[in-house]
């Protein structure tokens, strides 16, 4: 199951109605609002991302923005180094109980070793309780809701002026 977030933008239906009539003019304004919004959320997501044990910052360095025509996507491409689970999703939403890989060299083993904890005991706890969600990305969206709305209001105003 894919998990994600949607942001409600007031006036978006009207903006997209104009975009359908004047796609060449509206594209630059709407894409600018999308890019600004995603960049603002990305900055917060980097700040809010939990830091593991690596000096590279784990998830902090793995955020990327993809832009399309009247579309944009912000994602984090970090995975557990042993290829186990989609790390950002597990940290954001939490997980049901499962037995993670805790053998030497795994992400969990490295983390546990740095914390001075038995990897087996951490794995056993995860197998019983799962991983508690941190909701760092949800927080990033909530922190930027006003900025996102303002960027789309500006796009609408600038589009109307240009028409």
Could you state, in order of their start, the residue ranges of all structural domains in the chain?
Answer: 12-77+136-162
Q: What is the per-residue pLDDT for 2?
A: 53
- Whether 108 contacts 99, CB under 8 Å: no
Span 21-31, pLDDT tens digits: 998 889 899 98
CA distances to 20, 58, 67, 87, 154 from 134, in Å: 39, 15, 27, 12, 33
Other Cβ atoms less than 10 A from the Cβ of 27: the count is: 14
Q: What are phi and psi of 59, to 5 degrees?
A: -65, -30
Tokens found for residue 85: 């689970």
> pTM of the full predicted structure?
0.78
Span 107-134, pLDDT tens digits: 889 889 988 999 999 999 999 999 999 9
The per-residue b/e assignment along 101-114, b for 16 or more CB within 10 angstroms, e otherwise, is bbeeebbbbbbbee
């Amino acid at each position: 199951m894919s998990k994600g977030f949607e942001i409600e933008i007031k006036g978006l239906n009207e903006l997209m109605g104009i975009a359908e009539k004047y796609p060449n003019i509206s594209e630059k304004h709407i894409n600018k609002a999308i890019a600004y919004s995603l960049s603002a959320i990305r900055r917060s997501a980097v700040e809010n991302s939990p830091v593991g044990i690596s000096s590279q910052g784990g998830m902090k360095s793995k955020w990327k923005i993809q832009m399309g025509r009247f579309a944009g996507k912000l994602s984090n491409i970090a995975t557990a180094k042993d290829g186990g689970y989609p790390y950002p999703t597990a940290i954001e939403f939490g997980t049901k109980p499962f037995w993670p890989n805790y053998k030497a060299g795994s992400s969990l083993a490295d983390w546990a070793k740095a914390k001075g904890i038995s990897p087996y005991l951490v794995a056993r706890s995860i197998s019983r309780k799962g991983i508690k969600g941190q909701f760092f990305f949800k927080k990033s969206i909530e922190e930027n809701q006003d900025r996102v709305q303002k960027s789309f209001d500006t796009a609408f105003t600038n589009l109307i002026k240009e028409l």
